[in-house]
Amino acid sequence: MFRPKLLVLAASLAVAGLANAALPASNPFAEVSKLPLNYPAFDKFSNDTYGPAFEEGMKEQAAEIVKIANNKAAPTFDNTIVAMERSGRLLDRVSSVFGNLSGANTNDAFEALNRELAPKLSAHSDAIRLNEKLYARIKALYDKRDKLKLDAESKRLLERYHTDFVRAGAKLSAADKEKLKAYNSQLAALSTTFSQNVLKEANASALVVDTRAELAGMSDKAIDAAAAAAKAKGMDGKFLIAVSNTTGQAPLEVLTNRSTRERLLATSLARGSRGGDFDNRDVVLKITKLRAERAALLGYPSHAAYQLEDQTAHDTSAVNKLLAELTKPAVNNARKEAADIQAVIDAEKGGFTNAAQDWAYYTDKVRQAKYAFDQNQLKPYFELDNVLHNGVFFAATKVFGITFKERKDLPVYHPDVRVWDVFDADGKQLAIFLGDFYARSNKRGGAWMNAYVSQSKLMGTKPVVANHLNIPKPSAGEPTLLTYDEARTLFHEFGHALHGMFSDVKYPRFAGTRVPRDFVEFPSQVNEMWMTWPEILNNYAKHYQTGAPMPKELLDKVQASAKFNEGFRTTEYLAASILDQRWHQLPADKIPTDVLGFESSVLKDAGIDFAPVPPRYRTTYFSHVFAGGYSAGYYGYLWSEKLDADTVEWFTENGGLSRKNGDHFRKALLSKGGTMDAMQMYREFRGRDAKIDPLLERRGLK
């Protein structure tokens, strides 16, 4: 995940009720950070520094935009497009920090300010995109773009600005522009509410257990941690299991008590739909209706049609076709896997039919039966520091020649955050990388990458990028042992970081991960492949106590089981993707009134209503699409995986892990950001369009 450049500009300061006083020099956002690469001065930020910085940042940028729009000189590329790229530096500084910390380290003041800012920022964005004088200048340049003798990146920048403005409503009538502003303001507020509800609901809906015996299967240390969590909430003598991001919950893999598993999954599934202050059902209906109405105003049959027009998929029919083609084979695979699970249950004389709460627990038993190992055998070989330094960083050095040096002198926003200087193959500093790996109650779920500073030749900046995961933090003195999925996520998110660090563009609009949503996951998914590449795995998969390498027989089992449980993984993902599309392909007059009823009917109609495999996200806690930037875009992970699987085949065909291959991938793709059409970029890298066969083979769907 990534954070695009924030275009929040105002034609009228009264719209947002901005202060008149300039930002005092004592505010840490008043000037560019003097720390290396403009690294944020986290030690100088406090809750009361953000609001004034946002206000002055909007005021400052508004004045810059008014000057551009009212310039009496004829529009030129420099006095219009480049001037816009240079605008809003203060607002960018505060937005990049606040936007990430509101997800990574939030508090009550942050949440209140977020709710206050959402409609103001929306109004400012509208003020620039709907500014008639400004659009007239852009259009005048666009209409004669072929005569301006611009280089390829500059010409694309002009074209993107024109597209951005048109899609934002620049051609609408004055009355329709007012309607659009109202839609955008309401949607900004509702998305913020949805996001905050998800976090609060996760903290409020933790499972409370009365006895230690009910947690059998969990380690003693994990049970002690559950007891401590309950005590901290004033429930001394009880045990508290927090729920996290996805429908599936990690303890389901080990809990032997079926009733506890059932209660935990039910708690997870009920999030956002059980009544109370954090119920998201009404929020979902309002968001969906407003998005549909806005799309209609802009001339599109649905929000999905509007969103997909600007993605590599281009239209809903292409996405629907992909999802439909994969649904039947995925569900068939899942049914076969369910039969294997049922066989184990029956052999143990369980006396019950496999259900969703049983899948994670019994699938490891199936894995043991088929491959004579379970996931827990891997954890001693997946210690966090070892995976990071001798796996993730080692692979990056091997493939791209970059090196890392941890530093302790730069300020951080939480003691768990770590910082590294990143050096290119020539020894020059390339970037700064932050790692925030542990879960916290004030940190949103999932994993993501963000840029505090983006690379730009125009601005003379180098990247400062961060990765965020939600790994449970062990007790003091205990090692952080990762699950297979957590290790894979570490590699995945670093792929996003590489995309940001390798950016080599002129304009901020194109830096790093500012590419179509259904393309942005491609580089990160490519980076996942190094996790099990033998020469990488052999370098980091060592026992955290003895240093002994992972036994070859265990390594062989990891490789042999690569497609294990792919039916489940693909089905739960497809179910969520289909829900996303169905909600966002609805016209405004077809929005249902029953969220869960609609969800059920969608899954049934799509042929993916297989009860043992619920969607990876249910509607009411699907933050990617109702609070993040992935609305009508969750399919993008699979779309990107088609490119990723084809790229893995290219690396294999060309000798695998080598600097030559890495340099080609970096030069042709990772460095270019959004400077050219994404699929053309892929064709120039690969020499042809991607084939789907490698993806089908990987997921066992052939």
- Going by C-alpha positions, the residue among 437, 439, 462, 438 that lies closest to residue 451 is 462
Average pLDDT value for residue range 219-225: 92
Cα–Cα distance, 581 to 574 (Å, whole number): 10
Average pLDDT value for residue range 433-449: 94
Greater pLDDT, 402 or 368: 402
In the sheet that holds 403-407, the strands lie side by side as 403-407, 418-423, 429-438, 464-471, 448-453
Reply yes or no on whether the pLDDT at 10 is more than 60: no
pLDDT digits (tens, 9 = 90+) for 562-586: 788 999 999 999 999 999 999 999 9
Q: What is the pLDDT of residue 368?
A: 87
Q: What is the pLDDT of residue 7?
A: 35
Identify the band that residue 15 occupies on the pLDDT scale cut at 50, 70 and 90: very low
Cβ neighbours of residue 59 closer than 8 Å, sequence gap 6 or more: 10, 13, 18, 19
Judge whether 486 counts as a catalytic residue.
Answer: no
pLDDT digits (tens, 9 = 90+) for 464-501: 999 999 999 998 889 999 998 899 999 999 999 999 99
Q: What is the DSSP letter of 434?
A: E
Reply yes or no on whether the pLDDT at 1 is more than 70: no
Average pLDDT value for residue range 118-138: 95
Q: Is the separation of the CB atoms in 504 and 477 below 8 Å?
A: no
Query: Which helix (H) or strand (E) covers residue 466, if one does?
Result: strand 464-471
Produce one character per residue of 370-388: b if its CB has 16 or more CB atoms within 10 Å, e if not. ebebbbebbbbbbbbebbb
Q: What is the pLDDT of residue 373?
A: 78
Identify the band that residue 11 occupies on the pLDDT scale cut at 50, 70 and 90: very low
Cβ neighbours of residue 267 closer than 8 Å, sequence gap 6 or more: 205, 206, 207, 243
Q: At what angle do helices 89-104 and 108-129 cross, to 10 degrees?
A: 140
Q: What is the DSSP letter of 481?
A: B
Reply yes or no on whether the pLDDT at 418 is more than 90: yes
Q: Is the separation of the CB atoms in 246 and 470 below 8 Å?
A: no
- Going by C-alpha positions, the residue among 362, 389, 376, 413 that lies closest to residue 540 is 389
Q: Is the separation of the CB atoms in 89 and 458 below 8 Å?
A: no
Mean residue pLDDT of the chain comes to 93
pLDDT digits (tens, 9 = 90+) for 612-665: 999 999 999 999 999 988 999 999 999 999 999 999 999 999 999 999 999 999
Strands 207-209 and 239-241: antiparallel
Residue 229 vs residues 233, 240, 260, 419: alpha-carbon distances, Å: 7, 6, 17, 29
Q: What is the pLDDT of residue 639?
A: 92
Cα–Cα distance, 630 to 73 (Å, whole number): 40
**CB count in 10 Å sphere of residue 282:** 12
What's the pTM? 0.90
pLDDT digits (tens, 9 = 90+) for 299-324: 999 999 999 999 999 999 999 999 99
Query: Which helix (H) or strand (E) covers residue 370, if one does?
Result: helix 359-371
Reply yes or no on whether the pLDDT at 557 is more than 90: no
Structural domains of the chain ordered from first start: 36-170 (1.20.1050.40), 207-270 (no CATH)
Q: Is the separation of the CB atoms in 41 and 33 below 8 Å?
A: yes
Q: What percentage of the chain exceeds 90 in pLDDT?
A: 88
Average pLDDT value for residue range 330-341: 96
Q: What is the pLDDT of residue 187?
A: 96
Burial of 479 (0-12, 13-18, 19+ CB in 10 A): middle
Reply yes or no on whether the pLDDT at 13 is more than 70: no
Identify the band that residue 3 occupies on the pLDDT scale cut at 50, 70 and 90: very low
Q: What is the pLDDT of residue 369?
A: 87
Q: What is the pLDDT of residue 374?
A: 76
Q: What is the pLDDT of residue 364?
A: 87
Report residue 531 as tokens. 């996790």
Q: What percentage of the chain exceeds 70 in pLDDT?
A: 97
Torsion of CA 145, 151, 153, 158, to 10 degrees: -20
Of the candidates 64, 201, 214, 493, the residue annotated as catalytic is 493
**CB count in 10 Å sphere of residue 47:** 12
Sign, Cα dihedral of 623, 628, 631, 635? negative
Reply yes or no on whether the pLDDT at 43 is more than 50: yes
Q: Is the separation of the CB atoms in 636 and 521 below 8 Å?
A: yes
Site of tokens 């009823």 = 597
Q: Is the separation of the CB atoms in 443 and 468 below 8 Å?
A: yes
- Which residues on neighbouring strands pair with residue 207, listed in sequence order? 241
Identify the band that residue 698 occupies on the pLDDT scale cut at 50, 70 and 90: confident
- Going by C-alpha positions, the residue among 516, 535, 526 that lies closest to residue 685 is 526
Query: Which helix (H) or strand (E) covers residue 465, if one does?
Result: strand 464-471
Cα–Cα distance, 322 to 328 (Å, whole number): 11
Q: What is the pLDDT of residue 558?
A: 79
DSSP symbols for 622-633: -HHHHTSS-TTT
Q: Is the separation of the CB atoms in 192 and 185 below 8 Å?
A: no
Report residue 197 as tokens. 């509800």
Q: What is the pLDDT of residue 534?
A: 87
Average pLDDT value for residue range 348-354: 96
